[in-house]
Amino acid sequence: MSISASEQSLNSLKQNTKDTMTEFEAVFPAMMELCVHLTTIGADSIEKKDTILAFFSKVENLLIGSHFILHELMASLRLLLNTTIVYEKRYHTQSINLGICEAYNYFFGNKNDGVWSLLKPDVLALDNPILHSYVAIIDAELEKLGVKHCNKIMRNSTAHYDNPIKRYDLLNSITDEDVYCKAVSQFMLIHLRISQISTIIFAIISQITLNNSPENIEQEKPMLDIKAFVEEKLADKLSSNEELANISSESLTNVSDNIDFLYNNHLNIEKIKEYLDTKVTQAPTNIEVFYQLILLRMMVGFIRCDLTCAIRAYLSSISSIERSLHLRRIYLTEVSALTHLYGYNEEKKTKSLWSQLMAIDIDYNENELASLNEKLEELTSGLDSTCRNLHTHFREDEKLNILKRYEAYKNLNQIAEINKAHKLLYLCKNIEDYTMSALTRIGKKEQQESQKQKDRFNTMFKNLRNITMESKISEAMKIQSITMLDEMERKLASLFDVKKDLGN
């Protein structure tokens, strides 16, 4: 996965993303404070919906959303360009696509109720030819963003996870990062147009309200933020640890390679099932257990890889806001992946991979399983869909999440999130240990059952040969009968070694 650009161009692009993020973070506090002030004085209230104040607030929502969204896209783009690990590139590609899809929804909305859709009639009412031309341009560019750059299937898989096989197929369909670089470029163009039209509108509003003195907003005196200080020091210490970077890189590569291996096992089992179907033979229960174990291990692998990518992004971050931005993916991974793996309510648990495995694996170790169930219950009992939605959507119906998301980033306990990731990674290791013991148990049981069947067939055919040799038929008939028995035995024996018969 590479883009056709010179190293100099890539380095320049990486630096531009850093500079843009730094510039945006410098203005975020003032923009967010203005947003809070507008909310406090009821700028968005029904009583003031036709006032200049409400119009001003809508423009501010447009502008602050554009800044905030582009900041997040730049963060993912920078890391996409920085890594050579295929899975990590795909991870950041998914983040870009999710951001683009959510941005389109923020501005246009699903029912023409997005921030831009609601502002546009007010802009057109000003009957300004220059503004009209900007409206047409922004409409066209947003439409292009939605049609050419929003992969909704990938968006849903990123936000909610998916069946491991479907998720694997989708991830492997990501082969050209240039497509997603162009998506960010398209949004940068939209941001430029939004900035330009906002400047014009603010200038018009200032002329209308020229005789009104703007209300002063008191600036809080800067204070030492102990939380930010401690988190900064921890981040500096971890990001300077080259061994940690190397270990995480090696782990990410190894786990993603193992997901490939598991997927190939899935394909082999599908071949086995197809082969047994041709023989009108039902697949043994152990094959079904083995298949569920593959799906479970693939899901655990995805969790490990995504958590590792989130931590590596945290280590590469250049500010506290960016660190929180990447660490929030830990929570998204926890909610979405654990929903498929284990479930957080009775309905989800019934459909989970864990439940499907338990339904057919009747020889599990009760003590080992009880310990895993306890840890899974502990993690899933605290899942919060409201928090998950905040970190996924820029807007939910009429509710805009930009300010709350920014405040969540500021207030996020980064140390707690790192510990949460470590705890979940440790649980993944325990689950993998359990699945390995299950595979060993299945292998032994399958071998024992297979040998018993082989012994029974061997005894049966041995007796048939003896009966044939002791019969009074001609020698030629005896030889023909023995040959037929040998052929029958060979075909039956092949059912006990389907992989070998398939050339695997």
Q: Indicate whether 186 and 84 sit together in one domain.
A: yes
pLDDT band at 496 (very low <50, low <70, confident <90, very high): low
Give me the chain's average pLDDT, please: 86
Domain extent at residue 468: 450-501
* Beta pairing partners, 395: 400
Give pLDDT, residue 501. Answer: 40
Distance (Å, whole) CA 324 – CA 328? 6
Bigger pLDDT: 67 vs 365: 67
- Sorted by sequence, the CB contacts under 8 Å of residue 353 that are 6+ apart come out as 164, 292, 295, 296, 299, 340, 341, 342
Q: Indicate whether 132 and 252 sit together in one domain.
A: no
How many residues are listed for the chain in this entry? Answer: 504
- pLDDT tens per residue across span 464-478: 778 878 877 788 877
Say whether pLDDT at 283 is over 90. no
- Mean pLDDT of the region 201-205: 92
- Of 156, 182, 212, which residue sits at a domain end? 212
- Of 150, 180, 212, which residue sits at a domain end? 212
pLDDT band at 494 (very low <50, low <70, confident <90, very high): low
- Sorted by sequence, the CB contacts under 8 Å of residue 169 that are 6+ apart come out as none
Q: Looking at the domain assignment, is residue 222 inside a domain? A: no
In the chain, the number of structural domains is 3
Q: Indicate whether 129 and 206 sit together in one domain.
A: yes
Which range has the worst mean pLDDT, 299-303, 364-368, 500-504? 500-504
- Of 151, 182, 212, which residue sits at a domain end? 212
Q: Of all residues in the chain, what percent carry a pLDDT higher than 90? A: 48
Q: Indicate whether 64 and 206 sit together in one domain.
A: yes
Give pLDDT, residue 284. Answer: 64
Which range has the worst mean pLDDT, 74-83, 212-221, 267-276, 342-351? 212-221
Q: Indicate whether 382 and 434 sit together in one domain.
A: yes
Give pLDDT, residue 498. Answer: 45
Give pLDDT, residue 4. Answer: 58
Q: Indicate whether 492 and 376 sit together in one domain.
A: no
Q: Looking at the domain assignment, is residue 314 inside a domain? A: yes
- pLDDT tens per residue across span 39-76: 999 888 888 888 999 999 999 999 999 999 999 999 99
- Mean pLDDT of the region 143-169: 93
Secondary structure element (H or E) that encloses residue 395, with its range: strand 395-396
Give pLDDT, residue 278. Answer: 76
Secondary structure element (H or E) that encloses residue 352, with its range: none
Q: Looking at the domain assignment, is residue 218 inside a domain? A: no
Q: Indicate whether 429 and 476 sit together in one domain.
A: no
Say whether pLDDT at 504 is over 50. no
Q: Indicate whether 440 and 494 sit together in one domain.
A: no
Q: Indicate whether 444 and 454 sit together in one domain.
A: no
Q: Indicate whether 93 and 107 sit together in one domain.
A: yes
Structure tokens at 273: 């099932």
Q: Looking at the domain assignment, is residue 226 inside a domain? A: no
Q: Indicate whether 456 and 439 sit together in one domain.
A: no
Say whether pLDDT at 382 is over 90. no
- pLDDT tens per residue across span 89-108: 999 999 999 999 999 999 99
- Mean pLDDT of the region 254-278: 88
Give pLDDT, residue 326. Answer: 93
Q: Indicate whether 420 and 486 sit together in one domain.
A: no
Q: Looking at the domain assignment, is residue 225 inside a domain? A: no
Q: Looking at the domain assignment, is residue 305 inside a domain? A: yes
Spell out where 44-98 has E strands: none
Say whether pLDDT at 212 is over 70. no
Bigger pLDDT: 410 vs 364: 410
Give, to the nearest 10 degrees, the angle between helix 86-107 and helix 242-278. 90
